[in-house]
Amino acid sequence: MDSKKVIVMALNDELESAYPPLNISIGAASTGADVVLAFSRNGINILDDHYIPIPSKGKEYLANALNDFKATSIGDLLSIAVNLGVRFVVPDIDVPENKIVSELPFEKVPLKWLLNEAAAADLFVHF
């Protein structure tokens, strides 16, 4: 059986936008799917080694709720994704080289490549 291809885009780095792409990527990878997690210019901060997720205005309660719930940290979710083989990519026209501060494995790809991969994927989602 061929593995499914899943493309997930992280479009923003607010707290409520950081968890969904990671959770979906990890869930899909755990089923054996070939997963690509792409980070846009507004989502790239999630890869930053010093990223602190800040909730959007009006959603400040989320930080406390996730802490009280003992939710897995963004950093731990990134590590789990790496261990499951999720491929991290950044469209090359979207992010300047000096903006990416990460020790995580990622590659810069042409935007056209990412769009073609998304069009051919079994599932394409963005948050």
pLDDT digits (tens, 9 = 90+) for 60-84: 888 788 888 888 989 999 999 999 9
Residue 47, phi then psi, degrees to nearest 5? -80, -15
Per-residue pLDDT 10s for the chain (127 aa) are 688 999 999 999 998 999 999 999 999 999 999 999 999 988 988 988 888 888 888 888 887 888 888 889 899 999 999 999 999 999 877 566 666 667 888 888 999 999 999 999 999 999 9
| Phi, psi angles (nearest 5°) of residue 59 | -120, 25
Query: CA distances (Å), 124 to each of 9, 81, 89, 101, in order?
Result: 8, 17, 14, 26
pLDDT at position 101, please?
Answer: 63
Residues 22-30: contacts with CB under 8 Å, at least 24 apart: 22/46, 22/74, 22/77, 22/78, 22/81, 23/77, 24/125, 25/81, 25/86, 26/77, 26/80, 26/81, 26/84, 26/86, 28/4, 28/123, 29/81, 29/84, 29/85, 29/86, 30/84
Place of tokens 């968890």: 19
Reported pTM? 0.89
Angle, helices 61-69/15-30, rounded to nearest 10 degrees: 40
User: Residue 105 has what pLDDT?
Assistant: 87
